[in-house]
Structure 1
Amino acid sequence: MGLGAKFLTTRWAVRLPIPLFTAGFGFLFFGRMLLLEHRGRSSGERRYAVIEAAERESADRIVVASGFGPTAQWYRNLQAEPRCGVSIGWRRRVPARAELLDTAESRAMLERYARDHPKAWAVLHRSIVEATGDADPEIPMVRLHLQSRRRSSRAVHR
């Protein structure tokens, strides 16, 4: 297993950035990574995942990919409850709503990502294939609609 796949499948490694985000140091990731705060679909407990921002459509619309497919826990949790929170750059715990994109739109977004970031895509795709064992993994995309900066600040849903 390559280094990228090993990293993606090592729990402590993928959770390492969470304390940086929660302490307000998300800006260190230059807006390329975000902290997604969501609720467990069964437990209702607060959960966190650090995910790459695949595309910044606007300041308040960010697209992310579920590299482990539709069975990733954070993805399944957003299916059950699309209300979430996002920390990215200097913005912390911004209330947001997740929109799960259909297969066609997800595929188009991935093709655009591969075209715009060929080196990053080559490494990421190879790592996902190695980590999942699937030669052609399904990678669903999610559009996160962040509360506008102009609207009043409210805590992420309880």
Structure 2
Amino acid sequence: MTDGDTPPRRPHLPSGWRRLALRLPILLYRAGLGPLFGKRLLLLHHTGRVSGLDRMTVLEVVSFDPAKPSWTVASGFGPRADWYRNLCAQPKTLIRFGNRPHAVTAHFLPSEAGAEIMIGYARRHPRTARRLCAFMGLPVDGGARAFREAGQAIPFVRLDVADGYGRDARGHS
């Protein structure tokens, strides 16, 4: 983005049937059908920063490192998304990947790292990357520069298995 450009618009939070459709995967996870999503989605548990209540959201996995293990997710609604703000307030939480629970700690990545993550994601999933850029009001020419700018505008979070918890929430390795 150059100095004369306007910042990207932030998408409106979904409501009505769109919100219901986005929440449907949570019901599938609750029914034990998380493996249907393969390695593309995870269920994030987070604590409401105001209410203190347990909340859940399903997020797309931008990248997964099974060696550590760690998962990188993006906030398509920017830093105002409730799950993102809740993780800022309380970064230690649980996820469900497939049918396995994992205790994780959230690490908020700098925009420079986001640019590289987005370029890699666009190589693996070009159509989805273009749709995400369009959704966020960013250029969608499909070039590396556009994806780099998108990666700098989108907040990325790396979820690392929490120290002292082992590889999952039950202590299994």
Cα distance in 1 between the residues matched to 2:41 and 2:113? 21
Superposed CA deviations along residues 70-100 of structure 1, whole A, max 9, x for unmatched, are: 1111001000000111111131x32111111
1:34 Cα shift?
0.7
Instruction: Flag the 1:85–1:152 CA change in 2: closer, same or farther, 3 A.
Output: closer
Cα distance in 2 between the residues matched to 1:15 and 1:38? 15
Return 5+ residue gaps in structure 2 as ranges: 1-10, 139-148
Is 1:84 aligned to residue 93 of structure 2? yes
Q: Which runs of 4+ in 1 moved over 6 A?
A: none
Return 5+ residue gaps in structure 1 as ranges: 131-135
Q: Secondary structure at the match of 1:17?
A: helix
Does 1 or 2 have the higher relative contact order (CA < 8 Å, sep 6+)?
Answer: 1
Cα distance in 1 between the residues matched to 2:19 and 2:94? 21
Length, aligned pairs only = 143
- TM-score calculated relative to the size of structure 2: 0.74
RMSD of equivalent CA atoms: 2.4
Q: 1:29 aligns with which of 37, 40, 43?
A: 37
Cα distance in 2 between the residues matched to 1:111 and 1:69? 18
Matches within 5 A, 1:70-109: 70-91=79-100, 93-109=101-117
1:127 Cα shift?
2.6
| Structure 2 partner of 1:39 | 47
1:22 Cα shift?
1.8
| Structure 2 partner of 1:153 | 170
1:152 Cα shift?
6.9
Cα distance in 2 between the residues matched to 1:115 and 1:152? 33
Superposed CA deviations along residues 25-48 of structure 1, whole A, max 9, x for unmatched, are: 100101201110000111111011
Cα distance in 2 between the residues matched to 1:11 and 1:78? 21
| Structure 2 partner of 1:67 | 76
In the alignment, residue 32 of structure 2 is paired with which amino acid?
G
Q: 1:141 aligns with which of 149, 156, 159?
A: 156
**Which stretch has the larger CA shift, 50-59 or 73-82?**
50-59
Cα distance in 1 between the residues matched to 2:82 and 2:72? 17
Matched-pair identity in %: 40
